[in-house]
Structure 1
Amino acid sequence: MESGGAIYTQAGSSVDMTRSEEDSLVDGPLISADALHAAIRREFHSVPTSCHAILLSVLHVAYVVLSVCVAVLCVLKLGQEEACASILGSVRGDSAVVFGKAALWVLVLVFTRCAQYHHSRARNRGYLRFYRSTSTLKQLPLAVHSAGNVMLLVVMAARLPVDVHTYVLIGVLALELLVALPCLIYYTVKVMIFNTKRAAPDVSQEEHSHNFNVASLPTETGFREGSCLEEVVEKQADLIEYLKQHNSLLSRRLLNLTAQH
């Protein structure tokens, strides 16, 4: 009986210790949801690729204008042979256009890699909808310029007459500009809107909308009939990765705010 009483005494003491720890946590300073959301909102990181897209657009327009001038004045030789020789030296006019096209393609490749890096960071921070809405858009300029390079190689290898060769070359460059430039402008607008809104991550937005709308439909985290299974699995993986980082951030913020109170 004495041993049984000791066991009950130890169990009661352990329960009391657990309750005292829980009471100390409950009686501690409460942190408002507004303060926590404000602390998280300060962690917003903008995507800096809009400036890069604007600079690339300006360079593309400048390249096309200079290429048209070189093609008309130096390839067609409209009385400007001396000026072309003094500027280009021993380089032919069409060769200068091709060299410029290769340099522009390298810049587009660097921009695409840079955009992919910053967009992947935004995805890891929980902005999945923004990442998906721009995943194809940021790849389009590189695809357009690569297709333009192929067309340019075909024109160079066709051995057309000089006049026809020059006009086809100008047409290829103009078509490439008309397709790539709107893509860059639209991409720039989407990134600037994203940076201006400074919205919370997708998970926080879904939780916020669910709290204010009880009758709202559940989010598309799980599998639904008619939905793409691969897309759902990918989205769930992104959400898990984000929630790991989100929990770590919440832990640090809770400790800091508790220490301040």
Structure 2
Amino acid sequence: MDDSSSMQDPILATEDDDGFRPLRTVPAFSIHLLISSCISVAGVVLAATWEDSCRCEAYFIMLYLRAAFWLLTYLFDHFVKNRHENLRLDGYHEFHRAIAYHKTVPLQIVSLWNTFLLAVQALIQHYYGDNFAEKCAVAGLFVPIVYITMFCSLETLVLCFVHGSYIAKVVHFNRAAAPPDALQGSRGHSGGSLGLTQRGLSTAELLEKQADLISYLKDHNLKLNQKIMQMNAQVRTVTFPG
């Protein structure tokens, strides 16, 4: 009875299809933002509490933290891209395109910030030369430990807006638990999701949407064929035992 009912909607009821799978990237984005905030707080603590004679050491600690944060962001970027690729394979091409830019922004921001810090460090070392230790050990607003802390705080503020926007979209997507794009038109969801009736689409966008959906339907057709073969094998086993 279960097999006959599942055949009424063959694409949805494949053996390997466990229903809607939420996009689980919110914890990763939250942790990434938390680490960025911790680095900013560490900079404030170092700049406010360490003595002038230790300001150079504090500055280099921040540089090491920046290097480690970039490496962490690189791994974070790889993890998020993998999750987004799974989302695309599940048939959610519209949402995949809607958040495609968000997944690349964190690595771009951190890389841009580190590039700027590298350029500033090169200028400082070029102009100060052997007097660098003396210059960074004095008190002031624009000594290295203070400027790098201000820069990290600005980066954290930018990441708050970027990550907050992304997290809000993903949470809304997970709560909606909508079917894949190819099935939405036939189930009363956003009509025209196949792109045939959507106005304002360029030819390139239309072809891209159709190619994605064709690929998705081919994957589900393969799963359906496998299901049919398994059912036929079970019928032959029952009809012709031993």
1:10-36 per-residue CA deviation (whole Å, 9 max, x = no partner) reads xxxxxxxxxxxxxxxxxxx85378776
- The reply to whether residue 70 of structure 1 matches residue 35 of structure 2 is no
CA–CA distance in structure 2, aligned partners of residues 168 and 32 of structure 1: 63
Q: Could you tell me whether the CA contact under 8 Å between 1:134 and 1:187 is conserved in 2?
A: yes
Larger Rg: 1
Residue 158 of structure 1: how far off its partner (Å): 2.9
Identify the match of residue 179 of structure 2 among 192, 200, 209: 200
Preserved contact between residue 155 and residue 169 of structure 1 (Cα < 8 Å)? no
Residue aligning to 2:188: 209
In structure 1, how many angstroms separate the alpha carbons of the residues matched to 2:6 and 2:91?
A: 22
Structure 1 unmatched runs, 5+: 1-28, 86-90
Change in CA separation of 1:235 and 1:37 when aligned onto 2, cut-off 3 Å: closer
Tell me, in whole angstroms, the C-alpha distance in 1 between the residues paired with 2:228 and 2:95: 28
Is 1:126–1:201's contact at 8 Å kept on the other side of the alignment? yes
Alpha-carbon distance in structure 2 between the residues aligned to 1:189 and 1:242 = 26
1:218 CA displacement = 7.9
Residue 220 of structure 1 corresponds to 195
Specify the alignment match of 1:47 in structure 2. Answer: 23
Q: Does 1:230 align with 2:204?
A: yes
Q: Is the 8 A contact 2:39 2:152 kept in 1?
A: no
Residue of structure 1 in register with 2:217 after alignment: 243
1:151–1:172 CA contact under 8 A, matched in 2:
no
Distance 1:227 1:217, change over 3 A: closer
Q: Distance in 2 between matches of 1:253 and 1:130?
A: 29
Shift of 1:168: 2.3
Alignment correspondent of 1:176: 155
Secondary structure at the counterpart of residue 205 of structure 1 = helix
Residues 33, 125 of structure 1: alpha-carbon distance in 2 compared, 3 angstrom cutoff: same
Flag the 1:219–1:238 CA change in 2: closer, same or farther, 3 A: closer
State the Cα distance separating 1:144 from its structure 2 match.
1.0
Give the corresponding residue for 1:134: 99
CA distance in 2, matches of 1:226, 1:124: 26
Which amino acid in 2 is paired with 1:247?
N
What CA RMSD, in Å, does the superposition of the two structures yield over aligned residues?
3.2
**Which amino acid counterpart does residue 218 of structure 2 have in structure 1?**
K
Match in the other structure for 2:34: 58
Distance 2:6 2:207 in 1: 34
TM normalised by structure 2 equals 0.74
- Give 1 or 2: higher helix fraction: 1
**Counterpart code for 2:175:** T
Q: 1:200-238, CA deviations, whole angstroms, 9 ceiling, x for partnerless residues?
A: 10110122238xx9xx6684148x885323222222221
Change (3 A) 1:253 1:50: farther
Count matched residues: 216
| Inter-partner Cα distance in structure 2 for 1:33 and 1:115 | 35
Aligned to 1:105: 70
Corresponding residue of 2:131: none
Match of 2:169? 190
TM-score, L = length of structure 1: 0.70
- 1:146 pairs, out of 103, 107, 111, with 111
Q: Which moved more, 1:123-132 or 1:151-160?
A: 151-160
2:33 and 2:43 map into 1 onto residues whose CA distance is 15
1:19 aligns to what?
none
Q: Decide whether the 8 Å contact of 1:105 with 1:142 is kept in 2.
A: yes
Deviation at 1:37, TM superposition (A): 7.6
